[in-house]
Amino acid sequence: MVFSSLIFLFLFLPLFLAVYYIVPKSWRSPVILVGGCIFYAWWRVDFLLLIMGVTFWNYVIADRIVKNDAEIGRRRWMQLGVAGNLVTLGIFKYLNFGVDSLNAALEASGMNTIEALKFILPIGISFHIFQCISFLIDIYRGEAHPPKKLRDFLAFMTLFPQLIAGPVLRYKDLEDQFTSRTHTPEKFAEGAYRFMTGFAKKVLIADTVAPLVDKTFALEDPTMADAWLGALAYTVQLYFDFSGYSDMAIGLGLMMGFRFMENFNFPYISRSITEFWRRWHISLSTWLRDYLYIPLGGNRKGTRRTYINLFLTMLLGGLWHGANWTFIIWGAWHGGILAIERFVNSLKTESRQVIEPVKDLALMVFTFFLVIMGWVMFRAENVTQALKFYKSMFAGATAGLSEEISWQVTGAATTALIVGYILIFGMPLLEKKLNFNIKETRNVWIHSGAIGLFVIAVMKLGAQSYSPFLYFQF
């Protein structure tokens, strides 16, 4: 089940919220648990058993960590729990990739290939495993308290707004909210507003430019215009798809009394890749910082090690996104740039002047260019396709749009693309000039506009084919 579906909007969500608010507060965690199980099982019941099995595994390991008095024993239980999570992720997400890569090498060497079982990737397994790992590490560090009630922990792990595509929530940030959270009309209204705006971003913009992206990346030999149009369209699609999902998840959480962390903060106006990762998928970037970069040594073990740690963190972050060389290269791309930026910044004096507006704009444009180049590799089916796409972008034999793409440039797609970029670059300037936050505003006219866009998006959803969220594959 997905948020952008009629069955979710008009059956599951109303029934869930009705039951959630009718039952006594002490029963709301079980309602969340049952609702999350139904939501996930709508896809496949067998993988719900996997999710629940992983959840129980981490609950038992956390209990052993807490009850062990010896430091070495606590550490070993934590390591065992993390290893179990990584093995699960490795089997279901990376085993196929490893076998296929090995077989490609064996075949190239003229040797016999090996046969292995093919595993289906469970939806949201990466997000679930990351939450479990942070839970165990926080319990070990003493930064989170052991769950007082099993039902609250199960409810956290099956909280359907973030169950399959994030944000990457941490138990320590929500544990207090499971024991004490407020339910007010104002909070519910704020959540409904966030949900509607996210829904409109997904359906009216991301889904409208999606056919353009799919067609351009499917071309065998795109023209220069085809390639740039596809890259620019995908940049819009991915942002509005994933940030739209995050807005919906945050909104649903508010409607249930929870307040999740923000996941996006106008990332495309960044003036460096370092800043970009402070604004893009914030829950993931902070997770990678706290549970990978810092444990690797962060910047505490010398300059050279700092560069290596930055690179490795983003390399593994790329691998987290998918079992494909394209994601590994994308992670290496960002990791390499982060290391270079840190080196360049180390050469600057502390008394440097404030960046002039022209230089500020130039840095933003250059950073945006670097991000787009990374997105091409991120979107491509394989490295060969990505390299062909890069070649077309910079050395295409034909400059204009091909016939295959020309008919895809409809009025709706063009409008969605233009509006997308206006919002990407115009909204942060408008917020700064007017000194308000569009996500937190209570302006009646803005809320009324959100309702209107939501109605239009629902009408469009009823007429279009199924379009899953892009981050479901991770």
Long-range contacts of 439-446, Cβ-Cβ distance < 8 Å, separation of 24 or more: 439/194, 439/197, 439/247, 439/262, 440/190, 442/190
How many helices and strands in the chain, by DSSP H and E? 21, 0
* 321 a catalytic residue: yes
Q: Name the residue among 87, 29, 32, 78 with its Cα closest to residue 54.
A: 87
CA distances from 241 to 235, 236, 320 (A): 10, 8, 19
CA dist., res. 275 & res. 273, Å (int)? 5
Catalytic residue among 128, 145, 281, 321: 321
* Structural Rg of the chain based on CA atoms: 23
Phi, psi of 228, rounded to the nearest 5 degrees: -65, -40
First to last CA, the chain: 16
CA dist., res. 245 & res. 184, Å (int)? 23
Query: Whose structure tokens read 């909204």?
Result: 427
Number of Cβ within a 10 Å radius of residue 15: 12
Q: CA 368, 369, 371: angle at the middle one, nearest 5? A: 65
Question: Torsion over CA of 347, 350, 352 and 358, rounded to 10 degrees?
Answer: 70
Pair of tokens at residue 12? 């599951």
CB 194 within 8 A of CB 369: no
**Angle subtended by helix axes 207-218 and 411-434, to nearest 10:** 120
Q: DSSP code of 460?
A: H
Cis peptide before 167 (omega within 30 of 0): yes
Which residues does the annotation mark as catalytic? 321
